[in-house]
Amino acid sequence: MNALQPHWPVLVVIAPLLAAPLAVLIGRHRLAWAAATAASLCSFLLALQIAAQVRQTGPMVYEMGSWAAPYGIALMVDAFSALLLVIVCGASTGGLLVAARGLGNDIARHRLPLFYAAWLLALAGMAGIVVSADAFNIFVFMEISSLATYILVAGGQRREALTATFKYLIMGTLGATFYLIGIGLIYMMTGTLNLADMELRIREVGELRPILVAGGFVTVGLALKAAVFPLHTWLPNAYAEAPHAVTAFIAACSTKVALYVLLRLDFFVFQGNVPGHGAQFTGFILPLAVVAILAASVLAARARELKHLLAYSSIAQVGTILLGASMVSVTGLTASVAHMYNHALAKGALFVAVACLGTLHSQLSVEGLAGAARRMPLTMAGFVVAGLSLIGLPGTAGFVSKWYLVLAAIELGPAGVWLIAPVLAASLIAVIYIWRVVEPAYFGPSDPALPRREAHWSLLLVLWGVALLNLYFGLRPDFTLTLARQAAEALLSVSN
Amino acid sequence: MAVFGLYNYWMFVALLMIGIYTIMSRPNLIKKLIGMSIFQSAVFLLYISMDKVEGGTAPILKPGATDQIYSNPLPQVLILTAIVVGIATLALGLALVVRIRESYGTIEENEIRELDRQ
C-alpha cells in the first residue's frame, strides 16, 4: 500500500474509469453491479485515506507520466479537493448500494450494465474534476461527468425524464462552453492552463480586460452548472424525474463539484491577483445567494411532489453555500466548504429515504404520503433525522456549518448582521417544508389499500448509516471543520 | 484597421450570438441542437484564432531550419478534444430527441409542454 501512496490521487479516478468498460463487458446485471460497487468502494476508501493524509501532511501533488508542471499535467489534492473527493465517492457508493434494490423497474434488466457503466463514468468525471490541477482537464472531466449524468437522469421511468434531460443537456453544455471560453481567454493572456502557474502569471498581465471578461464567463458558466438561483431551471425536473438512486447520487455531489470549480478559480486564481476581484465577486454573488435562499425556500414550501420539494431546497442550499463564500473571509469560506459536506450528508440521506418510500409508493406527492410513517416507520424516522439536519437543529451536521455562517456574518460588523436574517429565514422555512411531509406521514389518514411493508434492509442500512453520520458530524465536527478551515486558508492565502 | 484585424474574433462573437439565439428562440428540439453546435463551433474558432502567429507555419521541426516561426500547436490539440466532446454531446442530444419523438410523437417544445400538462 505504501509503495502506491504517491499514486493515490490518480488511482481514485482510474478505478471507476477502468471498471466502466468492465461493467459493460461482463454483461450480467448483478455482476456488473458488483464490479461497479467494488470500484466505487475502492475509490471511497482511497478518498478517505487521502483525506487523512492531506489533513496531516498537506497537499498531495501528482505529475502525470512524471512530466513536471507547468508543461506536464498535474493532479493536486489539497484539503478542499480531499473533502469533495470524500463526498463524491461516498455519494456514489451509497447510491450504488441503494441502486441494487431501489431502482425498481425503471431500467430494463439487459440495459443495467450500461447504466452502471454510465454511473462509473459520472463518478470518474467528478472525481477527476476535484483532483485535477489543470483548467482544461477540469473541462474534459466536467463533460465526461455531465454526459454520463444525462444518461443516468434519462433512465427515469416517466417520459418527462426525457424532456428534463434535454433541458439539462442544453443548459449544461452552455455552462461548460462558457467555462471553455473563459479558460481560452485566460490562456490567451497567460499562456498556461495549470492553475498554480496561472495564479502566478495572471499578476504579470498588463491588459486586464480579457481577464475580467474571462472571470465573468467562468463564473456564469459554472453558476449555470451549480444551479445558482436564476440559472437553476434545469435542476428541479432533472432531480425529480431521475431514478431515485441516481437522484441520491447527483443531489449529493454534482452541484457541489461545480461550486468547487467556481470557488477554486474565483479564489485560488483570481482573488488577490486581479484588482477589485473580491468586491466584484461579493457584488455579483451575494444578492443572488440571498435571493436563492429566500425564493427557492418558498418554492420548496409550495411544491406538490416530494422530490420537487427537496430539489428546490437544494437550490436554497446552493445559495447558503455561496453566501458564505461571498463574504470573502476565512470563516465565511470555512462555513461554505463545511456546508457542502454537511448538506451532501443531509440531502443524500433524504433522497435515500425517498428511494425507500419509492419501493412502496408509486406516486410521491406530499398528500399521497399520508400515513407513510405507519407503513414504513424506520424509513420515516430516518427521514426526520436527515430533515432535522437540513433544518440545522443543534446536534446535527447542518447546525455546525450554519453556526459558522452566522459567526462569519457577525465578523463583518454591523452590516453583516443583516446577512443572518436570510440564514435564519431559510431554516424557518425549512421547518415548514419538512413538517409539510412529516405531519401527514405521521398523523394523516393511512390509505388502507397499501400494505405495511418496510423497504429492503440494504436500503435501510444505507439510510440509517447516512442519517447517523449526520448526528456524528453534528456532535464531532472536527474532521469537517479542520479540512474546511485548511481549504479556506488555502483559497485565501493569496490575499493574506 | 485595428477593428478589421480582429476579424476572427468578430466572427466568434457573431456565431456565439447566432447559436445562443437559436437555442432560445426555436421551439424545435433539432434546431435547438443545431444552435448548440453553432455555439460550440464559435468557441473552437476562438481557440484556433488565438494560436495563429504572424508568419508562422505548421509546428513541424525541419532539419536545418533554425529560425522558423511556428504557430502554437497547443490550442489546436485542446480544441480537438473539445470537438470530440461536442460531437458526443450532439449525438446524445439527438438520441434523446429520437426517444422524445417516440414517446410524445412530436419534437416541438410547445406541443410537448401541452402534452405534459394533460
Q: What is the tens place of the pLDDT at every residue in A192-201?
A: 888 888 888 8
CA terminus-to-terminus distance, chain B: 58
**What pLDDT shows up at residue A181?**
93
Q: What residues in A contact B20, CB-CB < 8 Å? A: 174
In angstroms, the CA A295 to CA A428 distance is 13
Residues 234-263 of A with CB under 8 A from B: none
Q: What residues in B contact A136, CB-CB < 8 Å? A: 78, 81
Question: pLDDT digit string (tens) for A340-366?
Answer: 999 999 999 999 999 988 888 888 888
**What pLDDT shows up at residue A1?**
54
The residue-averaged pLDDT of A276-282 equals 84
Residue B67, min C-alpha distance to chain A (Å): 22
Put simply, the answer to whether A166 touches B85 (Cβ < 8 Å) is no
Give the residue on A whose Cα is nearest the Cα of B111: A163
Put simply, the answer to whether A159 touches B85 (Cβ < 8 Å) is no
Residue B36 predicted with pLDDT over 50: yes
Put simply, the answer to whether A188 touches B116 (Cβ < 8 Å) is no
Q: Does the CB of A48 have a partner CB in chain B at under 8 Å?
A: no
Q: Does the CB of A150 have a partner CB in chain B at under 8 Å?
A: yes
Q: What residues in B contact A188, CB-CB < 8 Å? A: 50
Residue B2, min C-alpha distance to chain A (Å): 16
Q: Does the CB of B23 have a partner CB in chain A at under 8 Å?
A: yes
Put simply, the answer to whether A159 touches B96 (Cβ < 8 Å) is no
**What pLDDT shows up at residue A121?**
94
Residue B81, min C-alpha distance to chain A (Å): 8
Which of B79, B114, B82, B89 minimizes the C-alpha distance to B35? B89
In angstroms, the CA A106 to CA A269 distance is 43
Take residue B60 and report the three cell numbers written for it: 513541424
Residue A495 predicted with pLDDT over 60: no
Size of interface A-B (CB pairs under 8 A): 63
Q: Does the CB of A233 have a partner CB in chain B at under 8 Å?
A: no
Of A143, A162, A187, the CB nearest to B85: A143
Put simply, the answer to whether B39 touches A174 (Cβ < 8 Å) is yes
In angstroms, the CA A7 to CA A61 distance is 9
Residue B3: band (very low, low, confident or very high) from pLDDT cuts 50, 70, 90: low
Predicted TM-score of the model (pTM):
0.92
Residues 162-221 of A with CB under 8 A from B: 162-163, 165-166, 169-170, 173-174, 177, 180-181, 184, 187-188
Task: Report the mean per-residue pLDDT for chain A.
Answer: 88
Take residue B90 and report the three cell numbers written for it: 450532439
Residue A424, min C-alpha distance to chain B (Å): 36
In angstroms, the CA B51 to CA A424 distance is 51
Put simply, the answer to whether A163 touches B88 (Cβ < 8 Å) is no
**What pLDDT shows up at residue A395?**
87
By the 8 A CB rule, do A196 and A133 touch?
yes
Which of A455, A214, A282, A436 minimizes the C-alpha distance to A353? A455
By the 8 A CB rule, do A47 and A94 touch?
no
Give the residue on A whose Cα is nearest the Cα of B23: A170
**What pLDDT shows up at residue A494?**
45
**What pLDDT shows up at residue A230?**
87
Put simply, the answer to whether B50 touches A180 (Cβ < 8 Å) is no
Put simply, the answer to whether A177 touches B39 (Cβ < 8 Å) is yes
Q: At A378, which helix (H) or strand (E)?
A: helix A377-391
Q: Does the CB of B75 have a partner CB in chain A at under 8 Å?
A: yes
Q: What is the CA radius of gyration of chain A?
A: 21
Residue B27 predicted with pLDDT over 80: yes
**What pLDDT shows up at residue A90?**
93
Which residue in this structure is represented by grid cell 484564432? B49
By the 8 A CB rule, do A374 and A448 touch?
no
Q: What residues in A contact B88, CB-CB < 8 Å? A: 143, 147
Put simply, the answer to whether A162 touches B29 (Cβ < 8 Å) is no
CA A220 to chain centroid, in Å, comes to 18
Residue A146: band (very low, low, confident or very high) from pLDDT cuts 50, 70, 90: very high
**What pLDDT shows up at residue A104?**
66
Q: Does the CB of B79 have a partner CB in chain A at under 8 Å?
A: no
Put simply, the answer to whether B40 touches A166 (Cβ < 8 Å) is no
Of B47, B81, B99, the CB nearest to A184: B47
Q: Does the CB of B19 have a partner CB in chain A at under 8 Å?
A: no
Give the residue on B whose Cα is nearest the Cα of A150: B92
Q: Cis omega (within 30 of 0) on the bond before B73?
A: no
In angstroms, the CA A408 to CA A160 distance is 42
Residue A282 predicted with pLDDT over 50: yes
